[in-house]
Amino acid sequence: AEPAPLLTVNNLEVVYNDVILVLRGLNLKVPEGEIVALLGANGAGKSTTLKAISGLLKAEDGQITRGDVLFRGERLNGLDPDQIVRRGIFQVMEGRRIVADMTVHENLRLGAHTRRDGGVRDDLDRVYGYFPRLKERTGLAGYLSGGEQQMLAIGRAIMARPKLILMDEPSMGLSPLLVKEVFLIIRRLARDLGLTILLVEQNARLALEAASYGYIMEQGKIVLDGTADALKSNEDVKEFYLGQG
């Protein structure tokens, strides 16, 4: 039999402000060691899905009204964000959310603050190895370029050594060249460290290059899913999500 997926989302329904139904019975699975892409247009509910997993919904009056989120067999519904972080789920937020008035180094150490193992030093070297540019930036993180901030946000996630990384739009606000670079690094990291990533992206082409499996969302539901290769050659996906070429 197949091993149970690391993360399972079952029939999830999310409502904002008691009235706006944003997720309408969402199902997805993330197997250990894989990158799974969650794709869809603006407003489809991708960020809401990540917030439902990471426990951030309540903070903005969103609520899970039906279904569940299972992580290694445990139900996460109702847990606080920091309880969920302690179980090994780390979210790289849209817009990056690095700490602007701390240095790069301090931001990276912050990522590791819950760790009690002895590997933090090695992981710092590892992150600087993947992102040599970060090592050259000794000032405050707020002065980094958009691309560098994205690299720092990813580096900080690595420092936490989570079992699952939730990545929200790593391409957002980056030049096409930088987007390519960031995605290359995500792929290398995943391969070298065996990371498990749920990747939310509007850039379907890049996401399906990095992912092994993909889900396509419309109006709060999954409308299509399959291996990345199958999705890339699907005519509807080509027409509506991959554009020309």
- Where do contacts with ligand ATP occur on this chain (CB under 6 A)? 16-17, 20, 22, 40, 42-48, 60, 62, 202
**Tokens 């370029």 label which residue?**
145
Provide DSSP, 34-90.
Answer: -EEEEEE-TTSSHHHHHHHHHT-TGGGTEEEEEEEEEETTEE-TT--HHHHHHTTEE
Closer to ligand ATP by Cβ: residue 40 or 170 = 40
What is the smallest separation between the CB atom of 16 and ligand ATP, expressed in angstroms?
A: 3
What is the smallest separation between the CB atom of 220 and ligand ATP, expressed in angstroms?
A: 7
Closer to ligand ATP by Cβ: residue 16 or 128 = 16
What is the smallest separation between the CB atom of 9 and ligand ATP, expressed in angstroms?
A: 14
Closer to ligand ATP by Cβ: residue 85 or 93 = 93
Q: Annotate 64-103 with b (16+ C-beta within 10 A) or e (fewer).
A: beebebbbeeeebeebebeebbebbbbbbbbebebeeeee
Token pair recorded at residue 163: 């079992």
Closer to ligand ATP by Cβ: residue 134 or 222 = 222
Closer to ligand ATP by Cβ: residue 4 or 223 = 223
For the chain, what percentages of helix, strand and coil (3-state, to nearest 5) are there?
Answer: 40, 30, 30
What is the smallest separation between the CB atom of 61 and ligand ATP, expressed in angstroms?
A: 6
What is the smallest separation between the CB atom of 79 and ligand ATP, expressed in angstroms?
A: 20
How far is the C-alpha of 87 from the C-alpha of 71, rounded, in Å? 9
Closer to ligand ATP by Cβ: residue 172 or 178 = 172
Angle at alpha carbon of residue 49, lines to 54 and 100, rounded to 5°: 55
Q: Provide φ and ψ at 169, rounded to 5°.
A: 50, 60
What is the smallest separation between the CB atom of 51 and ligand ATP, expressed in angstroms?
A: 7
